[in-house]
């Protein structure tokens, strides 16, 4: 049996209803804050992530799905036209009757010589921000002023699979980005994003979430902090895990990502970024907190929370949920005022976040019952020739926004009842010859057992529970 690849999974009904519930709540909430959807490709050039996420991160150094792609370059030069012709001819040649004659040879010789390979390194996206910022630069979205963008979709990281951690997982991502003159640098934007997230989690009925908040300062603050960290790590790093020993040399800030329990007491003694913030960063952080207090969004300051790349600046945050266990972060985000420039674009301060949709759905499981919609009615044709009449009725009811499941005339009454119960329908509607002639149908409530005869025109109303019983 061929199975789904390790770290990937099928999302099956009825759970997919929860995913749809989340996505439609996201669209509703984000719309209220004037966010608009952007859809970027699932693969990009590897260089984008190397520069946009950072070579030193676990994501780029160990987790990306990267391959050399033989594909043509985007430009349609003579080489690419030649390559196109060659592929057309090869496809065509495969259908020729002479093909069997080629058997035994390793491969038919190409009909047109191959142009020199223009391999390109491509990567399945491990996160969405880099792609969005690339699109922002490529399409000069800064000309529009402030951009509020969101997207949803699969991301790919070669991590060790476990509960809540997959190799194909889904993120809901949003970014506010634009020229500083459009207000993209303002702490009001940070607070707006955080308040929107709190609203979303509340709307989804997620109780007990925590907002962890920090400021990682600006590159200058971090240079001083990194220096202090390096010094503090020197005498203790030998007692730490291999990853930390590497991080201490390459990017000491990342030591704070360490989850190894034995390292935690050492990490507790290290200096914190909060001691190194300059005046501007301190003020920005204070302003974000002040707005959050004013709008009544609770938070906890966590000066261990860092996003360690040079272009990450100021606000960094995570929302966690206790019920999720070890993988307790539902979402993470922060400011990246230098990212556009790091990717060769214009200055474009921004702030964004990525929600792990798999984990969001996991923390929703309690509300599952109320979200999963069962059929309102199961329409059961009774007797040969009744499928058409049943289809007519089902069509009428579906057009009145009811959820309708439809049986088959070959089913005996008992089998129709069993199918209706299995589908979880509230009512069963019997469509026999006599009912069709009278244009009134037997409607049985499968919960109470009550059965009534209802004229065709009143069916939808009755099924919705608003009609009078006869
Ligand atoms: P990050 O881009 O690493 O900040 O991740 C943002 C969010 O995506 C995290 O808070 C998780 O909820 C989710 N996430 C990250 N990696 C995975 C994964 N491998 N499987 C499932 N969810 C993930």
The answer to whether 378 and 405 are in contact (CB under 8 A) is yes
Q: Which residues form the pocket of ligand 1, taking CB atoms under 6 Å from any ligand atom?
A: 127, 157, 159, 164-166, 169, 171, 329-332, 354, 356, 358-359
Would you write out the chain's pLDDT as a tens digit for each of its 470 residues? Answer: 999 999 999 999 989 999 999 999 999 999 999 999 999 999 999 999 999 988 878 889 899 999 999 865 555 555 556 666 666 666 555 555 544 444 444 454 545 555 555 789 999 999 999 999 999 999 999 999 999 999 999 999 999 999 889 999 999 999 999 999 999 999 999 999 999 999 999 999 998 899 999 999 998 898 899 899 999 999 999 999 998 998 898 888 889 888 899 999 999 999 999 999 999 999 999 999 999 999 999 999 999 898 767 788 999 999 998 766 666 889 999 999 999 999 999 999 999 999 999 999 988 876 667 778 899 999 999 999 999 999 999 999 999 999 999 999 999 999 999 999 999 999 999 999 999 999 999 999 999 999 999 999 999 999 998 654 44
Strand order through the sheet with 168-177? 36-37, 147-156, 168-177, 350-356, 329-335, 313-321, 209-215, 300-301
**DSSP per residue, 148-173:** EEEEEEEEE-----BTTB-SEEEEEE
Q: How far apart are CA 361 and CA 11, in angstroms?
A: 11
If one residue of 206, 330, 354, 364 were mutated to test the ligand 1 pocket, choosing by the most ligand atoms within 8 A of its CB, it would be: 354
Ligand 1 center to 331 CA (angstroms): 7
Ligand 1 center to 40 CA (angstroms): 18
Ligand 1 atom with minimal separation from the 161 CA: 19
Provide the β-strand partners of residue 353.
Answer: 174, 333
Ligand 1 center to 357 CA (angstroms): 8
Beta strands in 244-306 (DSSP E): 300-301
H helices, E strands: number in the chain: 17, 16
Ligand 1 center to 37 CA (angstroms): 20
């Amino acid at each position: 049996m061929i199975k789904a690849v390790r770290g990937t999974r099928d999302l099956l009904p009825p759970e997919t209803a929860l995913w749809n519930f989340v996505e439609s709540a996201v669209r509703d909430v984000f719309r209220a804050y004037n966010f608009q959807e952007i859809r970027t490709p699932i693969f990009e050039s590897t260089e984008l992530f190397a520069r946009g996420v950072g070579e030193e991160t676990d994501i780029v150094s160990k987790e990306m799905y990267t391959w050399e792609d033989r594909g043509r370059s985007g430009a349609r030069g003579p080489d690419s036209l030649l390559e196109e012709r060659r592929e057309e001819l090869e496809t065509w040649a495969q259908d020729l009757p002479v093909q069997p004659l080629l058997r035994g040879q390793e491969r038919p010789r190409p009909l047109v010589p191959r142009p020199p390979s223009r391999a390109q390194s491509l990567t399945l996206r491990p996160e969405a921000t880099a792609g969005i910022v690339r699109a922002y630069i490529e399409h000069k979205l800064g000309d529009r002023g402030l951009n509020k963008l969101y997207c949803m979709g699969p991301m790919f990281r070669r991590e060790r699979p476990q509960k809540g951690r997959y190799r194909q997982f889904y993120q809901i991502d949003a970014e506010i980005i634009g020229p500083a003159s459009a207000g993209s640098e303002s702490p009001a934007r940070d607070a707006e994003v955080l308040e929107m997230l709190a609203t979303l989690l509340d709307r989804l009925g997620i109780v007990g979430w925590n907002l962890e908040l920090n400021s990682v300062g600006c590159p200058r603050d971090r240079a001083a902090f990194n220096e202090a960290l390096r010094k503090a790590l020197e005498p203790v790093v030998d007692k730490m895990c291999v990853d930390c020993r590497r991080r201490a040399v390459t990017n000491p800030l990342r030591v704070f990502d360490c989850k190894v329990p034995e390292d935690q007491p050492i990490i507790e003694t290290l200096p914190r970024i909060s001691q190194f913030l300059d005046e501007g960063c301190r003020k920005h952080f204070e302003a974000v907190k002040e707005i959050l207090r004013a709008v009544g969004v609770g938070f906890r300051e966590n000066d261990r929370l860092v996003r360690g790349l040079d272009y990450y600046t100021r606000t960094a945050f995570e929302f966690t949920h206790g019920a999720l266990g070890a993988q307790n972060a539902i979402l993470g985000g922060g400011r990246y005022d230098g990212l556009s420039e790091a990717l060769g674009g214009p200055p474009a301060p921004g702030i964004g976040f990525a929600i792990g949709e798999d984990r969001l759905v996991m923390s929703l499981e309690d509300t599952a019952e109320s979200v999963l919609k069962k059929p309102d009615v199961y329409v059961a044709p009774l007797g040969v020739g009744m499928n058409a009449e049943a289809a007519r009725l089902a069509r009428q009811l579906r057009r009145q926004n009811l959820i309708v499941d439809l049986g088959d005339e070959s089913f005996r009454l008992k089998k129709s009842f069993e199918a209706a119960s299995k589908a979880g329908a509230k009512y069963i509607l019997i469509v026999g010859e006599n009912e069709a002639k009278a244009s009134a149908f037997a409607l049985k409530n499968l919960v109470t057992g009550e059965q009534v005869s209802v004229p065709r025109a009143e069916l939808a109303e009755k099924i919705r529970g608003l009609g009078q019983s006869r």
